[in-house]
Structure 1
Amino acid sequence: MGWDALSLVDAADDRPLIERRAVVRGDFFELQARTVIERVPQAAGVAQQWAISPYRGCAHACRGCGARAGHRRLGLDAGSDFDTRVVVRPNVVERLRAELARWDGQELAVGVGGDCYQRAEETYRLMPGVIGALADAGTPFTVYTKSALVLRDAPLLARPGARVAVSIAFVDERIRRAVEPGAPSAQARLELVSALVEAGVECRVLMAPVLPLLSDAADQLAATVRRIASAGVRVVEPVVLRLPAGTREWYVEWLERAHPQLVGRYEELYDRAGLPSPGYEGRITGQIEQLCRVYGMECGAPVAGRGEPRAAQLALV
């Protein structure tokens, strides 16, 4: 596990690992990384198998974020701690360059453990170095974000092998305030997509997560796809909400308060691993695919890219 392989507690000190090992600066916990390229959990719903996350935790506070369980390994909870106690890897660029020297060229996701352009990036400015390391190694990558701060690095991202995926799952602002309270509005993200396209950045919309029984009605899907098309993007990648351990508890706790009548239906819809039933998922993605055809857009996950390997593949533990 790349964030730290040590036990969370020891006999001499029963504090959580994050409190023993991190340097605390305001709301941020600086923790030196041993490795930075990590396998993407299947439940993440992204196309890439490996990822880099300069930050763990996210101030966007999205209730359905699939990365929440990572905070538990650091002795923090997957709920409010994930939203407010962001862990920073200040040595991410140094470690990334070392690992890319032995990487096999597989495409990497950037920002799966927490939005890489959230507020912490304004302070730490890690992403220009991350992008530079990936560019120097010739490794293709996709940045996942909801934040307009990515425009700061548009000149660095307007190059072959780089692309940005902006998450826009729905355009209903009432839903956004309930389930993504710290994230920019859908309108702000649509404007971000337009700006990235205009800047020459390869950009797609990750229509994720589609929320069962909340944002999956036919008219809601149609409105979202229509607005995405008007922003100038040509590719949409739909992902239905995943509820892996850590995320499931936090999301269901909210669902019990806000929509108690839906809890039983969610229990029927999701398996023990937190994946939606294939029939439901296929129906929703099929509807979105049909809508994309109407608006002249491609639909689906990208084919993962591959650069030229610099040496033998890095052995990750």
Structure 2
Amino acid sequence: MRVPLVGVGWDALSLVEQAADERPLIERRAVARDGFYELQARTVIERVPQTAGIAQQWAVSPYRGCAHACRGCGARAGHRRLGLDAGRDFDTRIVVKANAVARLRAELARWDGQELAVGLSGDCYQPAEETYRLMPGVIGALAEAAVPFTVYTKSALVVRDAELLARAGARVAVSIAFVDERIRRAVEPGAPGAQARLELVSALVEAGVECRVLMAPVLPLLSDATDQLTATVRRIAATGAGAVEPVVLRLPPGTRSWYLEWLAQAHPQLVERYEELYDRSGLPSADYEGRITGQIAQLCQMYGMRCGASAVERREPRAAQLALV
């Protein structure tokens, strides 16, 4: 009989256990059910990597891994700590934090009120959510604790919870980096098309949810031409979105190897330029990033939208800050 995981203290795994069983760590420590890995997480509030490019410093993710299979997803390295690879395994072997709601409530009881991002290590409304329905509980816990939060997603399933999100005063950031379907099929093969996401933004705005567009990731030399950026911002503006937050592609460890492997096959002439453009941590050059975000800011002004991350009103914390270990 398989023993379910009682925590995610990967570093605490004994050398004896490792030697006795050569299966990936997640297969030894989680319950496999209906194509998912179910585990009991010790903590669910995690620090956001500095390379992520978003405003929040802390995040909650009910799922790790993502069926959208976006080649540039910056969360891929997390699968390596589970004994899985950051490529195909990340796309197909989804980890479910089955106790996410209970753990979140416990941690929020000692949280200091900082805004949280929801859904960074895997889209929180990917197909796994249809099975596990963790998000209504996550939204409820955050609302009860009066903690501001932003949900990051590409999925229309978020509309199911539009009323809950509106009542909670949540923000939703829908990722639309480009509107060229040829690029989307190549780099986001499991995600909804751009038109579906544009319609999603309109639906959320109509439902009274504060909605912004995360224009991410802008792909160097693939989706960063002036006409491409203009077309994307123009179509976003037509949805009624309040703001655009641009983020140029990040290539942290794990993501870098997977993305460049694809790039070498699809666009081999660009590999050398990417190697020059990105530093060892996976960040693009400051000059390039400043130029692209500056162009998008000008386009947003032209089409009457705010650009960049906006400040969140800090709410009164319910209790002292949680000490995360």
Do Structure 1 and Structure 2 share a fold, with TM-score over 0.5? yes
Q: How many angstroms does 1:6 deviate by?
A: 2.7
In the other structure, the counterpart of 1:295 is 303
Query: What is the CA RMSD across the aligned residues, in angstroms?
Result: 1.2
Q: Is the 8 A contact 1:205 1:235 kept in 2?
A: yes
- Match status 1:143 vs 2:151: yes
Alignment partner for residue 202 of structure 2, among 175, 194, 205?
194
| Offset from partner CA, 1:197-224 (integer Å, 9 cap, x none) | 0000000000000000000000000000
Q: Is the 8 A contact 2:61 2:122 kept in 1?
A: yes
Q: How many angstroms does 1:162 deviate by?
A: 0.7
In the other structure, the counterpart of 2:133 is 125
Counterpart code for 1:117: Y
TM-score by length of 2: 0.95
Q: How many angstroms does 1:304 deviate by?
A: 4.0
Question: Aligned with 2:199: secondary structure?
Answer: helix
Q: Is the 8 A contact 2:119 2:152 kept in 1?
A: yes
In the other structure, the counterpart of 1:260 is 268
Question: Aligned with 1:95: secondary structure?
Answer: helix
Alignment of 1:1-317 (within 5 A): 4-7=8-11, 10-159=18-167, 161-317=169-325
Counterpart Cα distance in 1 of 2:320 and 2:20 = 40
| Offset from partner CA, 1:137-182 (integer Å, 9 cap, x none) | 0000000000000000000011353110000000000000000000
Counterpart code for 2:104: L
Q: Is the 8 A contact 2:143 2:168 kept in 1?
A: no
In the other structure, the counterpart of 2:3 is none
Q: How many angstroms does 1:43 deviate by?
A: 1.2
TM-score by length of 1: 0.98
Q: Is the 8 A contact 1:207 1:239 kept in 2?
A: yes
User: Which of structure 1's runs of 4+ aligned residues deviate more than 6 A?
Assistant: none
| Offset from partner CA, 1:34-88 (integer Å, 9 cap, x none) | 0000000011111100000000000000000000000011111000000000000
Identity of aligned residues (%): 82
Mean alpha-carbon deviation: is it higher for 17-26 or for 121-130?
17-26
Unaligned runs of 5+ in 1: none
Counterpart Cα distance in 2 of 1:268 and 1:305 = 39
Counterpart Cα distance in 1 of 2:107 and 2:160 = 26
Q: Is the 8 A contact 2:210 2:242 kept in 1?
A: no
Q: Is the 8 A contact 1:3 1:36 kept in 2?
A: no
Counterpart Cα distance in 1 of 2:248 and 2:126 = 23
Counterpart code for 1:86: I
Q: How many angstroms does 1:234 deviate by?
A: 1.9
Counterpart code for 1:72: R
Counterpart Cα distance in 1 of 2:176 and 2:149 = 20
Q: Is the 8 A contact 2:108 2:145 kept in 1?
A: yes
Q: How many angstroms does 1:306 deviate by?
A: 2.4
Counterpart code for 1:59: A
Counterpart Cα distance in 2 of 1:161 and 1:74 = 35
Q: Is the 8 A contact 2:10 2:81 kept in 1?
A: no
Q: How many angstroms does 1:305 deviate by?
A: 4.1
Counterpart code for 1:250: W
